[in-house]
Amino acid sequence: MSAEGGIDWIGWLSAASAVAAAGVLGMHLVRRPPLSGERGRNTKLWLLLGLGVFPITSAGTANVAGFAATQSRTFCGSCHVMEPHAEDSNDPRSQSLAAIHARNTSFGKDNCYACHKDYGMYGYVLTKAGGMRHVYLYLTEYHDMPLEESKHDIRILRPLPNANCMACHTTTAPRWLSIGDHASSLEAVRSGTVSCASAGCHGYAHPMTKLGKELDAGAAH
Amino acid sequence: MKIAEAWARVKAVRTETLVRAACVLGLVALPFMVTSVFVPTVWPVLVALSFGQALGTLSFALYLVAIARDLQLARRLRSRDAKDDAR
């Protein structure tokens, strides 16, 4: 998928390869050409295209398109428990941290991935492995969970590390340090004892989920 | 032992049948692999990357088995002809 949400050239290449492969395979099944003799050699070459070259091209390009799609907000929001998060990001009037980032034209449509991915050398692989864990949990625990219950109960496994924010927002720039709260909490931000996405700082990324068990816990105290 | 039995069964199947099975499997696998391009949500992508790929790989593997068997047969025939010529 392209940034605009349509199908980009790699998607069309995948589809075209699949159609070509299907054409070759369909023709073989209908016409049943011989596999031996001189004509058999041609048949085998056509089958190499229909069973090897075209499907491998189709699968490879579909994989690239598929992995790119897994970074989009549409993909993240396709599990019902994530719908409120995606809707909030889609809302042009929302002032949540997630929605503000979604309006960034550089990565807006991939804002879930941009903030939640693991950084570092193996970040991509670790993020994808973590995604599989989400799928497993969704299948085994959350698939039939009502939306209100999911907003109340489902939380991120570990608090979002400030390092994810600092991947884009440097804490060394003079402009950043010129803000009093930044300068006074510099060590706490870097060490992670104060979260950038906390109520006293930039606010929650997904405030709609903070009306659940956090409030219950507060009331209990 | 089971692998050997399975291999023996595959060897007993005619090449034409193997290739036709590969074609059918390929035709089944292709829509699974491509759907994720048009519907990039969780299930189509997961099915494409697992089930679709597995079927596609199996289809190609059957084709390779058929080709390997053909080559083996051709080699046997050549060596038999060579022996006949030697006599």
Residue B82 has pLDDT above 80, yes or no: yes
Which residue numbers of A have CB closer than 8 Å to B's CBs? 1, 7, 11, 14-15, 18, 21-22, 25-26, 28-29, 32, 35-36, 44, 47-48, 50-52, 55-56, 58-59, 61-63, 65-66, 69-70, 72, 74-75, 78-79, 135, 138
Note whether A47 contacts B59, CB cutoff 8 Å: no
- Residues of chain B above pLDDT 90, percent: 43
Of the pLDDT bands very low, low, confident and very high (cuts 50, 70, 90), residue A59 is very high
Nearest to B30 among A21, A63, A138 (CB): A21
Residue numbers of the domain that contains B32? 16-86
Residue A24 has pLDDT above 90, yes or no: yes
Residue A221 has pLDDT above 90, yes or no: no
Within 13 Å, how many C-alpha atoms sit on residue A92's CB side? Answer: 1
- B8 inside domain: no
Residue A27 has pLDDT above 70, yes or no: yes
Mean pLDDT of chain A: 88
Query: Tens of pLDDT along A141-183?
Result: 999 999 888 888 888 888 889 999 999 999 999 999 999 999 9
- B7 inside domain: no
Between residues A211 and A45, the one the model is more confident about? A45
Of the pLDDT bands very low, low, confident and very high (cuts 50, 70, 90), residue B74 is confident
Residue B86, pLDDT score: 81
A66 vs chain B: nearest CA distance in angstroms?
A: 6
Instruction: Give me the sign of the Cα torsion angle A178, A182, A186, A191.
Output: negative
Once rounded to an integer, what is the mean pLDDT over residues A40-68? 93
Residue A3 has pLDDT above 50, yes or no: no
Find the Cα–Cα–Cα–Cα dihedral A9, A12, A14, A19, rounded to 10°. Answer: -150
Residue A220 has pLDDT above 80, yes or no: no
A204 vs chain B: nearest CA distance in angstroms?
A: 26
Q: How many domains are there within chain B?
A: 1
Nearest-angstrom CA–CA distance, A79 and A72: 13
Query: Tens of pLDDT along B5-52?
Result: 887 887 788 889 999 999 999 999 999 999 989 988 888 988 998 999
Task: Characterize A77-113 residue by residue with b for buried, 16 or more Cβ atoms within 10 angstroms of its Cβ, and e for exposed.
Answer: bbbebbebbbebbeeeebebbbbebbeeeeeebbbbb
Tokens 């698939």 correspond to what residue? A143
Give contacts of B 10-49 with A, CB under 8 A: 15-16, 19-20, 22-24, 26-27, 29-31, 33-34, 36-38, 40-42, 45-46, 48-49
> Domain residues of chain A, as ranges?
9-69, 75-157
Residue B67 near chain A (CB below 8 Å): yes
Nearest to A65 among B37, B46, B52 (CB): B37
